Amino acid sequence: MSQINDENNRTAHVGDREIVIIREFDAPRELVFEAWTKEEHLSKWWGPQGFTTTFQKFDMQPNGTWEFIMHGPDGVDYPNTNIVVEVQKPERIVFKHAVFPHFVATAIFENMDDKTILTYRTLFEETAAVFDKVKTYAVPGAEQTMDRLREHLANRFRIQ
């Protein structure tokens, strides 16, 4: 597994079929968890830079469906369907991405004083050869999505 670190304390690990993004957020765990589980927040930051998201269904509970369309800056629409596997407030969310590329995503929220350590792990079901192509856009896309979450938290949840 290769590791990528940068000056902004962002870490990404990339394996044969797995991407792990680790981020520290300057917000309490309950607020970071809320940003993932409330449609009015998640719809504002989910997706890479330049994308917008239109939610069609949002049922963030086990066996619930989260359907949305990501609208790319180039005008291309990307329909997505996730099936929620597990929600343990405020510690863990697991969902299965039901369209290509197929993966299981796990978000783990760890409390660290008034900050949150988020570990976002995606394990892809495709072969390692297919994953080699997918990771060229999946890794930067996941990184940019976490950047957008950081911006959303700073704008929406700043504790004074």
Q: What whole-number distance in Å separates Cα of residue 16 and Cα of residue 67? A: 27
pLDDT tens, position by position, for the chain (160 residues)? Answer: 544 444 445 677 888 899 999 999 999 999 999 999 999 999 999 999 999 999 999 999 999 999 999 999 999 999 999 999 999 999 999 999 999 999 999 999 999 998 999 999 999 998 888 999 999 999 999 999 999 999 999 986 554 3
Instruction: Report domain extents, the chain.
Output: 2-156
CB proximity list for 84: less than 8 A, separation 6 or greater = 59, 60, 61, 62, 63, 64, 65, 66, 93, 94, 95
Whether domain 2-156 has CATH 3.40.50.300: no
- 130: phi then psi, degrees, rounded to nearest 5: -65, -40
- 9: phi then psi, degrees, rounded to nearest 5: 60, 35
Question: pTM for the whole thing?
Answer: 0.89
